[in-house]
Structure 1
Amino acid sequence: MKGFPLKRMVALPAVAALAFGLAACGSENESGGDDGDSTKEGTQLSGTLSGAGASSQDAAQQAWSAGFLEKHPDVTVNYDPIGSGGGREQFTQGGTDFGGTDAALEGEELEAATKRCGKVVEVPTYISPIALIFKVEGVDELNLKPDTIAKIFNQKITKWNDPEIAKTNPDAKLPDTAITPVNRSDESGTTENFVEYLSAVAPDAWPHEVSGDWPVKGGEAAQGTSGVVQAVKNGSGTIGYADASQAGDLATVKVGVGEEFTAYSPEAAAKIVEVSERVEGRGEYDFAYDLARDTTESGAYPIVLVSYAMACAEYDDKKTADLVKAYLSYMVSEDGQAAAAESAGSAPLSDALRKQVTPAIEAISAG
């Protein structure tokens, strides 16, 4: 686990991760304003919070932690970016105070979280495109249709000069180079979101079940988002998927949406959430979304992850509840979202979505 007191957080490069949940105010505290500081003037938060989860939000986590700890310098945030699967496991088993995940709790994990918490708080805090990154000599950009993307990652298209790729890239000098798909080796919310996209838009070319575990053998596997980025960067003829905030200077794919090819951007990612619906039949404080991956909306980028903060509506002690409540409040605030957007290129939550999730965060308390 990594501790991030304020002085270290300001000095470190963008590394930390979707730290979802920390924050709060007790029953004597007032509801926060736009800056997310929900404590009364003169109230001093202190203590340590432990969390684990998605590795995709390193830059956003640093921004959130630095902004929050500037207001509350006696708070230490420990976050282990072990991936969404590990974060969900540790949170549901009671090993962490909060968790971060790029895929909402489901099935046995949701049942385990409910058993631990009574009522589960699960709110979106980070919306980001998943970029398709590649390194092919002499090629700076690519237009790829959904079926083509699915066939590449399913290893049915194996050369970069394949006619199907050439058809949508008539001006590119595509080499006779083998394609090396790079995927996550660990269970990952980024993987689950990408596979969910492939399953929705190209079911014939992608016959695999949706899961956080990569289903295709034979490609190159790497640990975490940073591992995938490094594998693509260090390889030749490589292509992978990663949170767009970590794409760096690698070339990226424009994805076919309807009759257009759309590049990733925060604005294009936010459009998907706007046309998506909340999953029914979950708890009152659970804001999981069924993303409209197969949209044909102009200007929409469909390969996105919506990262959630996992927390309990009720904790055993007031100090933990206060910290979790206050930190979540800061992350979804205008200030917190602006900090993440500047640092990680994420899409800020809309005012309407912020108003919807705020009552769930305000419900966090101690038993």
Structure 2
Amino acid sequence: MKVAATGVAVVLALGGCAAVGGAVVGEGAADESRVQIECGAGAVAGSGSSAQASVVNTWIKVYQAACGEATVGYDSVGSGAGVAAFLAGKADFAGSDSPLSAAEQQRATERCHGVPAVHLPMVVGPVALAYNVAGVSELRLRPATIARIFAGTITVWNDPVIVAENPGSTLPATRIQTVHRADSSGTTDNFTAFLAAAAGKDWRYGRGGKWLAPGGTAARGSNRVATAIARADGAIGYVERSYATFHHLGAARVGNSSGEFVALTDDAVATTVAGAGNDDLRLGIDYATASAGAYPIVLVTYEIICGSGHQPDRLGVLKGFLGYTASADGQRDAAGAGYVPLPEEVRAQVATAAAALT
């Protein structure tokens, strides 16, 4: 496997900065030398989560700029479709915002010729409760209120429940328009997991990748959800934060189980991830967290891949690409694209697991 050092500037997918030498820098900043990247020769393809698509596209640009004989493709079709493509042998790896179920894990072992699939948590993407309500620059919502909004039992923005949670704000009588994912989605799975854990009896539709609550507008993929919210006054939906930022949408402060309304910041997300359980690199997010300053709606996207058995012409590219994404440079590039870097302890474990692929 060849090793390349790159100082190539890459324009981030959702920002105006450039990733140079593994660090995000603004205009006029000095270039830095990027850490060496291991280069394979060949083509590999991933498929799945749209929540991570922005940073994956950034990673691909950086890796391919350093490694001229490598090609990495990524099809942003949603977590459910990505996992299906991986299980059918049509993708080398799947991007999924949720770990495989027990049944999927069994099928993955068969697909990997008797070797279990490996989960590599690679992207921390907070889920924004994105809204577009004319005249409202700040919004605070408790989990039970969010559940009632998406269940269709709170239908206008000046409902007394919402007014009580936003003292001093003037809320319009605009009708609420909820937007949810039409496709099987890890973002939906994480959002409904939050509602199931934190909203109690106000959420009766369980957890899962498919949206089951009645009403609302359905859109395929994160970008279309964000676009639908941006086009409709009174709209609210759930998307990975970078999509809300790109479309200039407000993000509500979300109540956690301590009663605190927490803004979506990197520190608030890091507090939640730091408290996650770690079962063989599958991170257990506490959606009902009561930790001070913890933002409760956080998703972790995994790159799911066979632990061994890769063809030689693909192994080098897979190890090189995933090794870069799990590196400190790769995670800094993720931060530049609007995501939150992995905690260092987790990042080091993921890098070790990526290096162990055979």
CA contact (8 A) 2:52 2:125 kept: no
Deviation at residue 12 of structure 1 after TM alignment: 8.6
1:353 aligns with one of 335, 346, 350? 346
Residues 59-70 of structure 1: pairs in structure 2 closer than 5 A: 59-70=54-65
Give me the TM-score of the superposition, normalised by structure 1.
0.85
**d(CA) in 2 for partners of 1:72 and 1:352?**
28
- What residue in structure 1 maps to residue 212 of structure 2? 215
Q: Which aligned runs of 4 or more in structure 1 are off by greater than 4 angstroms?
A: 9-15
| Number of residue pairs the alignment of both structures matches | 328
**1:27 aligned partner:** none
Matching of residue 190 in structure 1 with residue 187 in structure 2: yes
- Residue 309 of structure 2 aligns with an amino acid whose one-letter code is Y
Q: How does 1:302-313 map to 2 (within 5 A)?
A: 302-313=296-307
What does 1:1-367 correspond to in 2, within 5 Å?
10=10, 13-14=13-14, 35=35, 37=37, 39=38, 45-117=40-112, 118-248=115-245, 249-257=248-256, 258-279=258-279, 286-343=280-337, 345-365=338-358
Structure-1 separation of matches of 2:310 and 2:123: 27
Distance across 2 between alignment mates of 1:86 and 1:274: 29
TM-superposed deviation, 1:220: 0.6
Cα displacement (A) at 1:94:
0.7
CA distance 1:49–1:305, shift in 2 (3 Å)? same
Further displaced range: 78-87 or 347-356: 347-356
TM-score for the superposition, normalised by structure 2: 0.87
C-alpha displacement at 1:237, in angstroms?
Answer: 0.9
Cα deviation, residue 363, structure 1:
1.9
Alpha-carbon distance in structure 1 between the residues aligned to 2:311 and 2:355: 16
Q: What residue ranges of structure 1 are gaps of 5+ in the alignment?
A: 1-5, 16-33, 280-285
SS at match of 2:333: helix
User: Within 2, Cα distance between the matches of 1:97 and 1:58?
Assistant: 16
Separation (CA, whole Å) in 2 of partners of 1:169 and 1:316? 54
Separation (CA, whole Å) in 1 of partners of 2:51 and 2:324: 19
| Partner AA of 1:167 in structure 2 | A
Greater length-normalized contact order (CA 8 Å, ≥ 6 residues apart) = 1
Q: Percent identity?
A: 38
RMSD (CA atoms): 1.9
Residue by residue, what CA displacement relative to the aligned partner does 1:265-322 show, whole Å, maximum 9, x if unpaired?
Answer: 222112112111123xxxxxx4212211111111111101100011111134112122
Match for residue 20 of structure 1?
A: none
Distance in 2 (CA, whole Å) between partners of 1:36 and 1:10 is 16
